[in-house]
């Protein structure tokens, strides 16, 4: 028995789909597992009539717009000819037409078929794959890294299941590196997470290059208007060091990345998704995941314009001295206690939920440290949370626990997960997780989404 993997219709009437050749993630004759990506390609959407202009919907993602074929069946793959051409023809999206009837490959099933599906003809005869879309918005269009699925330097990367007529729910994840790794996972196109989602869901990841998405920064992004943005731009252009650094190009990248972060608002900007019913607009995510890791004890505030800049201080190590000097003179450091962070979270949740009933998921902090063994707190000045990392973590975790009594927030208790697994092996530096812990936290994220009734994930 051979089950055909027919590409199927992915775009509405009036839209032409072009594609690259497919790149295989599973070779001919190999056993592929249900839930595994078999192949992916780049696609481009154009208007079917007139000169065939690209669709406006995905204009800022058009160079990294991809689709993956995910098997629903475990079985032996039999590749058909014509799906792949190798070289750049498998990377550039305009050489081939997307033919819905094209059979990319066949699968000889080994093991039971998915419930409700039977070989043969009729509505229960497939499809034998799920269609996973991926789209990356590049920080800059010349950051060309088409080596895989959703590879490249993206200020926003996202994936969604496109099998149905709509996407029911969207999770927006904004955080520093450990959270991005958690969401993106170890497989292409967020598949570690998406593969556990049976519904029609979208996951979006916003990295911390260069702005770290703490609550205050996200709130200001939502509230910043054109006049404030213009003032920031004018100040940046007027203040930037010119020609004094040994690496001016690196400084300009730094400044441009900073400005790009200040200009966008991931919570309110919305996304378009391609589904079998057409292009659907998602105005605001149904759930937003953030982390206390992204809440630094110190942020920078612009002395004249008042906006907040949160970034990892190690980024400064990559700046020239003139750029560091500009930051020192233009910004003042602002230390933040637990009460300040609580106020920011409460305000962000309240402001966001005035627009829609969004659920916030908060990853807490690992509050134990393998390198600590002190028994006496006398060596520390009060308040100790300003000095001792583990005390600060515990205070912030308690704050989150209290805040979760209010509507709109659920806690993903990474502190408990790492305590159960063992920090030395699974999160040795208290921050970066191994695969086992990532999987455990992913499971908890999905549990919280389901338990709180977030559509698409339930």
Instruction: List contacts with another protein (CB under 8 A).
Output: 176-177, 296-298, 312-319, 324, 328, 333, 335, 369, 371-380, 386-390, 392, 429, 431-432
Which phi and psi angles does 324 have, rounded to 5°? -60, -40
Helix (H, G, I), strand (E, B) or coil at 323: helix
Q: What is the dihedral of CA 222, 228, 234, 239, to 10 degrees?
A: -80
CB of 383 to another protein, least distance (A): 12
Least separation in angstroms between CB 369 and another protein: 5
Residues 448/361, Cβ–Cβ less than 8 Å:
yes
Instruction: Determine phi and psi for 291, rounding to 5 degrees.
Output: -140, 145
CA–CA dist 321, 455 (Å, integer): 49
The residue (of 301 and 315) whose beta carbon lies closer to another protein is 315
Measured from the CB atom, is 16 or 369 closer to another protein?
369
Q: Are 304 and 231 in contact (CB under 8 A)?
A: no
CB of 317 to another protein, least distance (A): 3
Q: Considering the complex, what minimum distance in angstroms separates the CB of residue 346 from another protein?
A: 23
- Give the residue among 45, 49, 55, 57 at the shortest CA–CA distance from 14: 49
The dihedrals phi and psi of 367, each to the nearest 5 degrees, come to: -100, 0
Sign of CA dihedral 346, 349, 350, 351: positive
Least Å from the CB of residue 253 to another protein: 14
Nearer to another protein, 393 or 442 (CB): 393
Nearer to another protein, 94 or 377 (CB): 377
Contact 420, 427 (CB under 8 A): no
Closest CA to 33 of 114, 125, 116, 119: 114
Distance CA 405, CA 429 (A): 30
Alpha-carbon distances of 79 from 76, 100, 130, 189, rounded to whole Å: 10, 17, 17, 22
- Which one, 229 or 256, has the nearer CB to another protein? 256
Q: Which is nearer to another protein, 260 or 370 (CB)?
A: 370
User: Taking a C-beta distance cutoff of 8 angstroms, is the pair 280, 167 a contact?
Assistant: yes
State in angstroms the smallest separation of the CB of 375 from another protein.
Answer: 6
Distance in Å, CB of 2 to another protein, minimum:
45
Q: Which is nearer to another protein, 304 or 432 (CB)?
A: 432
CB of 373 to another protein, least distance (A): 5
Of 37 and 388, which CB lies nearer to another protein in the complex structure?
388
Tell me the closest approach of the beta carbon of residue 239 to another protein, in angstroms.
17
Q: Report which of 330, 325, 328, 332 is spatially closest to residue 301, judged by C-alpha positions.
A: 332
Which residue, 16 or 368, is less far from another protein as judged by CB?
368
Q: CB of 316: closest distance to another protein in angstroms?
A: 4
Give the nearer residue to another protein in terms of CB position, either 247 or 386: 386
Burial of 203 (0-12, 13-18, 19+ CB in 10 A): buried
Q: How far is CA 218 from CA 25, 227, 265, 304, 349, in A?
A: 37, 18, 7, 20, 10
SS3 204: strand
Residue number, 135 or 365, with CB nearest to another protein: 365
């Amino acid at each position: 028995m051979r089950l055909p993997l027919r590409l199927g219709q992915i775009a509405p009437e009036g839209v032409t789909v072009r594609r690259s050749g497919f790149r295989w993630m599973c070779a001919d004759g190999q056993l592929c597992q249900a839930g595994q990506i078999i192949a992916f390609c780049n696609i481009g959407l154009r208007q079917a009539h007139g000169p065939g202009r690209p669709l406006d919907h995905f204009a800022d993602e058009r160079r990294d717009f991809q689709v993956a074929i995910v098997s629903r069946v475990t079985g032996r793959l039999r590749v058909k000819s014509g799906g792949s051409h190798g070289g750049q023809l498998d990377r550039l999206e305009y050489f081939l037409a997307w033919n819905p009837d094209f059979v990319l490959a066949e699968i000889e099933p080994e093991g039971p078929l998915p419930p409700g599906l039977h070989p043969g003809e009729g509505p229960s005869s497939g499809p034998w794959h799920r269609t996973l879309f991926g789209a990356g918005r590049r920080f800059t269009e010349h950051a060309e890294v088409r080596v895989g699925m959703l590879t490249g330097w993206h200020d926003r990367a996202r994936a969604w299941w496109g099998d149905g007529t709509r996407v029911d729910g969207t999770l927006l994840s904004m955080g520093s590196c450990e959270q991005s790794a958690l969401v993106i996972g170890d497989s292409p196109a967020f598949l570690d997470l998406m593969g556990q989602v049976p519904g029609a869901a979208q996951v979006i990841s916003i990295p911390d290059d260069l702005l770290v998405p703490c609550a205050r920064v996200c709130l200001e992004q939502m509230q910043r208007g054109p006049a404030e943005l213009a003032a920031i731009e004018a100040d940046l252009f007027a203040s930037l060091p010119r020609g004094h650094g040994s690496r001016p190009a690196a400084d300009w990248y730094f400044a441009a990345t900073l400005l790009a972060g200040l200009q966008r608002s991931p919570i309110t900007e919305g996304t378009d998704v391609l589904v079998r019913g057409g292009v659907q607009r998602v105005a605001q995510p149904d759930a937003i995941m953030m982390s206390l890791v992204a809440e630094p004890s110190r942020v920078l505030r612009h002395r004249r314009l008042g906006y907040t800049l949160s970034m990892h201080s190690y980024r400064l190590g990559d700046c020239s001295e003139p750029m560091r000097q500009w930051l020192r003179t233009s910004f003042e450091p602002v230390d933040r206690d637990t009460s300040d962070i609580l106020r920011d979270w409460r305000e962000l949740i309240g402001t966001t939920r005035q627009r829609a009933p969004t659920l916030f998921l908060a990853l807490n902090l690992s509050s134990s440290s393998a390198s600590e063994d002190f028994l006496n707190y006398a060596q520390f000045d009060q308040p100790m949370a300003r000095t001792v990392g583990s005390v600060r973590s515990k205070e912030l975790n308690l704050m989150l626990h209290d805040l979760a009594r209010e509507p709109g927030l659920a806690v993903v208790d990474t502190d408990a997960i790492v305590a159960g697994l063992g920090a030395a092996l699974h999160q040795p530096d208290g921050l970066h997780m191994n695969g086992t812990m990532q999987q455990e936290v992913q499971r908890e994220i999905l549990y919280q989404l389901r338990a709180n009734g977030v559509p698409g994930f339930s």
